[in-house]
Amino acid sequence: MKNTFPLERKDQIFDLITQKGRITVDELIDMFKVSGATIRRDLEFLEHQGLITRAHGGAMSKGRVSLEPDFFEEKERFLEEKKRIGQEAAKLIEEGEVIFLEASTTVLELARNIQNKNNLTVVTNSLDIAQELDGKEGINLIITGGSPRRRTRALIGPLTEATLSQMRIDKAFMGVSALDLVYGITAPTLEEAQTRKKIVEASNKIIILSDHSKFGKQNFASVNSLQSIDILITDRGISREMKVEIERLGVEVRIV
């Protein structure tokens, strides 16, 4: 993309942001072989035109809200990355703890890696995780109850929230459908966001398990800021800038 005219470069930058949802200044410098100051002026121009929203170190598509994938479609995406994330997360579980495993295809991989744990209490709102752990020796399984949501196979709603309000959790392992530096963690529906908020409130430590495809995206309903996260476990697809910015918020980032 070298030697492009300024207006042509702006058009190409806008197309890239529209396709990817967000992009960093460093990525654009590498693509167009121009200075950081030039890229920032281009982004400022596009923002003034109402086409994008600038964020620290980059820009995102204006008002881009990602659609929620179906559970069965999501289950097959980035499967190897999810397996590695699940294996790493399992190292954080200690005997005698009370843990929460939230309905997520990545957290399901964690459930498959819980082995040789004694006196472990697992609370979950996931139909699939409950099935995976049912009858497993050494695990006291508690299912929250609630209304099942087909797209995520999660139990959500007032009954789930009432159950959570009576508990204290040592560690909550949660997935995300969208995570953004500006807008934090978001969920597809208000009801699902409220259930996730209750999980955070009930837990002493929040550990997010997510492959890189969820970063830089927004869903409809706000859950929490990134500062609420204690540990983020992700794959090597995370950008250097995203990792640095998340760590600046006090979050430990583990890459597997």
Asked whether residue 219 carries a pLDDT value surpassing 90, the answer given is no
Is the domain of 57 the same as that of 150? Answer: no
Is the domain of 50 the same as that of 80? Answer: no
Is the domain of 37 the same as that of 56? Answer: yes
pLDDT tens, residue by residue, 116-127: 788 999 999 999
Q: Is 66 part of a structural domain of the chain?
A: no
CA distance 210 to 174: 8
CA distance 207 to 172: 6
Asked whether residue 139 carries a pLDDT value surpassing 80, the answer given is yes
CA distance 8 to 12: 6
Q: Is 1 part of a structural domain of the chain?
A: no
Q: Label residue 68 by pLDDT band (50, 70, 90).
A: low
Residue 225 phi/psi, 5-degree rounding, is -75, 165
Q: Which domain holds residue 16?
A: 6-61
CATH number at residue 148: 3.40.50.1360
Question: What pLDDT score does 64 carry?
Answer: 52
Asked whether residue 179 carries a pLDDT value surpassing 90, the answer given is yes
Q: Label residue 69 by pLDDT band (50, 70, 90).
A: low
Is the domain of 97 the same as that of 57? Answer: no
Question: What pLDDT score does 96 carry?
Answer: 95
CATH number at residue 10: 1.10.10.10
Centre a 10 Å sphere on the Cβ of residue 70 and count the other Cβ atoms it contains: 11
- For the chain, the average pLDDT equals 89
Is the domain of 169 the same as that of 48? Answer: no
Residues 6+ apart with CB under 8 A from 162: none
The pTM assigned to this predicted structure is 0.74
CA distance 181 to 163: 31
Asked whether residue 62 carries a pLDDT value surpassing 70, the answer given is no
Question: What pLDDT score does 204 carry?
Answer: 98
Q: Is 116 part of a structural domain of the chain?
A: yes
**Tokens (6 digits) for 250:** 């006090």
Asked whether residue 63 carries a pLDDT value surpassing 70, the answer given is no
Q: Is 123 part of a structural domain of the chain?
A: yes
CA distances from 63 to 15, 22, 105, 195, 204 (A): 15, 11, 27, 24, 33
Q: Is 51 part of a structural domain of the chain?
A: yes
Asked whether residue 200 carries a pLDDT value surpassing 60, the answer given is yes
pLDDT tens, residue by residue, 37-54: 999 999 988 887 767 888
Q: Label residue 74 by pLDDT band (50, 70, 90).
A: low
Question: What pLDDT score does 91 carry?
Answer: 96
Q: Label residue 183 by pLDDT band (50, 70, 90).
A: confident
